[in-house]
A and B are shown apart, each in its own frame.
Chain A
């Protein structure tokens, strides 16, 4: 680093500070008021006035967020896992093989990403009903898989394409079967890409809101965090302290997950995007 405090450095410092404030302020505000005993009575200010855990206790005891968190973890875990597996298989097919209709398949995968989810609420509702999966987390996972797969395939395709073909051929020369090569050469090399795609599947499963609302309808013990929060807000719309505590609870896991995978992410995005 240069130790040069010229006017440009100062300006840059100010810009960075402003940027940090803008990006962090909502999170800060959420967390700080969740600990503020006076947040609900209009007495909050930039710093918490009276520190308290009451809002959190209230959220877990009255709000049932323990259950919601568990449900969301189950849904997110299986969505990430299964979509990772399926996307990997599919992306190998489109990146490594030349076959008839390859371009059509690619265009198809790209196009289905454009479908607005609200459009599918009714038919998917009917579909899930016919599968007898209403009010169950499995139904939700299946739907989220469909939402996260196109993007996952699209991104992984770039990673798979980037694995040098020579490595593969070397494995064949050593007498490995295709399956063997896949496991010992391909899989380790695209692992970072899997991490990057898992972020997106995770976000879908953790944040999605309309389908959770319609597919889980009457079963509040199956609610995921997003609709749990909506229900909680509906009941306590002016109790900002507990509402912010609940918001914090559902945000923290995502933040941890993001920060863990952050370093993998940037490379993944670009290879996925650029190769797109």
Chain B
């Protein structure tokens, strides 16, 4: 039953449905039908409204205040207009470190995750069922590793004094002295990227694989007969068919990678002592809780949200445009 459903789910393209047709058309029944969706939505919407949307409004209100520990304790407000924003935009750290780190890292890790995940998916699609299951399970293991755990494992692998990488390089004679991988922003973010890609590609691979299995074999074979190489075939047939899958995968990865926090915060120097590696999330957290400047931290958070909302808007537009067609 379930496998049937899965196939149905991937194959059918219709969305929504018709409201149930009732024989008797009493106004009371109609009222029920009309309110039913709202009744069904109510618990979820109440929860989201109370715990995501209202807090989001409050973040914005905080960001217009000089909001410190005193204000939190007493509940007073202390509006200062857009002072926090002015300070953020005047801070050279934003332009030279924080924004480049945030955006640059998201671009690099999103493309690395998506490309690598897609390649793995294509590899898996070409494997027999036994090996596909083996690789699939291995991928699950990588995915299942909690971010905190994974981060500590990578920290240890790259540890300057006892880490595997340094030991190996030294034993191979490629390096004379231990190198501290966490002090240089590039190697720091390279490790974060490795961590993120390792943790993130399984989602891409599994999703794309499921999509790939739905692409019609005939079309690919026909293209092969026409002499199209693998790259041509990918861009001419597979990519267009899987476009919705890719758009979802890319946008979700973007959101997740923009918001990366724990993987940076837990790294040596990542919690603020190495200024070169700050990103928007960590910066906001450090300013809020270290400095008790919740207003300033909130303003940074608003900035991050706006950035993501712009990306979302683009996503929603492409998605709903396709749905309408």
Direct contact, A vs B (beta carbon within 8 Å): yes
A residues lining the B interface (CB < 8 Å): 1, 12, 15-16, 19-20, 22-24, 26-27, 29-30, 33, 42, 44, 86-87, 89-90, 92-99, 102-103, 105, 107-124, 126-127, 142-143, 145-146, 149-150, 153, 158-159, 161-165, 168-169, 172, 178, 181, 188-189, 191-193, 203, 206-207, 209-210, 214, 225-226, 229-230, 233, 238, 240, 243-244, 247, 250-251, 254-255, 257-259, 262, 264-271, 273-276
Known contacts A145-B47, A274-B211; is-contact A230 B141 (Cβ 8 Å): no
- Chain B residues with CB under 8 Å of A149's CB are 44, 47-48
- Chain B residues with CB under 8 Å of A126's CB are 58, 72
Whether B82 sits at the interface, judged by CB under 8 Å, is no
A95–B214 contact, CB under 8 A? no
A118–B262 contact, CB under 8 A? no
Distance (whole angstroms) from the CB of A218 to the closest CB of chain B: 15
A114–B312 contact, CB under 8 A? yes
Distance (whole angstroms) from the CB of A59 to the closest CB of chain B: 13
- Chain A residues with CB under 8 Å of B157's CB are 26, 29
User: Closest residue to A109 on the B side, CB-wise?
Assistant: B48
Distance (whole angstroms) from the CB of A224 to the closest CB of chain B: 10
Known contacts A99-B37, A115-B305, A121-B288; is-contact A206 B146 (Cβ 8 Å): yes
- Chain A residues with CB under 8 Å of B154's CB are 26
B1-18: which have CB < 8 Å to A? Answer: 1-3, 5-10, 12, 14-18
A226–B285 contact, CB under 8 A? no
Distance (whole angstroms) from the CB of B110 to the closest CB of chain A: 14
User: Closest residue to A8 on the B side, CB-wise?
Assistant: B126
- Chain B residues with CB under 8 Å of A99's CB are 34, 37-38
B5–A189 contact, CB under 8 A? yes
Known contacts A116-B305, A127-B51; is-contact A97 B2 (Cβ 8 Å): no
A118–B44 contact, CB under 8 A? no
B249–A162 contact, CB under 8 A? no
0/1 string, B31-54, CB within 8 A of A gives 1 = 000101110110111011011111
A118 vs B309: C-alpha distance when bound (angstroms): 15
Distance (whole angstroms) from the CB of B195 to the closest CB of chain A: 9
Whether B80 sits at the interface, judged by CB under 8 Å, is no
Report the count of interface residues on B (CB-CB < 8 A): 113
User: Closest residue to B137 on the A side, CB-wise?
Assistant: A259
- Chain A residues with CB under 8 Å of B55's CB are 120, 123-124, 127
A15–B123 contact, CB under 8 A? yes
User: Closest residue to B159 on the A side, CB-wise?
Assistant: A240
- Chain A residues with CB under 8 Å of B8's CB are 162, 164
0/1 string, B273-305, CB within 8 A of A gives 1 = 000000011001100110000100110011011
A270–B10 contact, CB under 8 A? yes
A270 vs B142: C-alpha distance when bound (angstroms): 20
- Chain B residues with CB under 8 Å of A150's CB are 48, 52
- Chain A residues with CB under 8 Å of B140's CB are 255, 258-259, 262
- Chain A residues with CB under 8 Å of B19's CB are 96-98
Distance (whole angstroms) from the CB of A95 to the closest CB of chain B: 6
A118–B261 contact, CB under 8 A? yes
B40–A119 contact, CB under 8 A? no
Between-chain CB contacts (< 8 Å), 7 pairs: A27-B141, A86-B44, A105-B45, A188-B1, A189-B1, A209-B148, A254-B146
- Chain A residues with CB under 8 Å of B139's CB are 23
A112–B52 contact, CB under 8 A? yes
Listed stretches B84-92, B128-136, B219-227, B231-239; interface member: B128-136
B40–A111 contact, CB under 8 A? no
- Chain A residues with CB under 8 Å of B128's CB are 1
B150–A26 contact, CB under 8 A? yes
A251 vs B145: C-alpha distance when bound (angstroms): 6
User: Closest residue to B206 on the A side, CB-wise?
Assistant: A266
User: Closest residue to B22 on the A side, CB-wise?
Assistant: A172
Select one of B6, B141, B249 contacting A271, CB under 8 A: B6
A271–B123 contact, CB under 8 A? no
Whether B266 sits at the interface, judged by CB under 8 Å, is yes
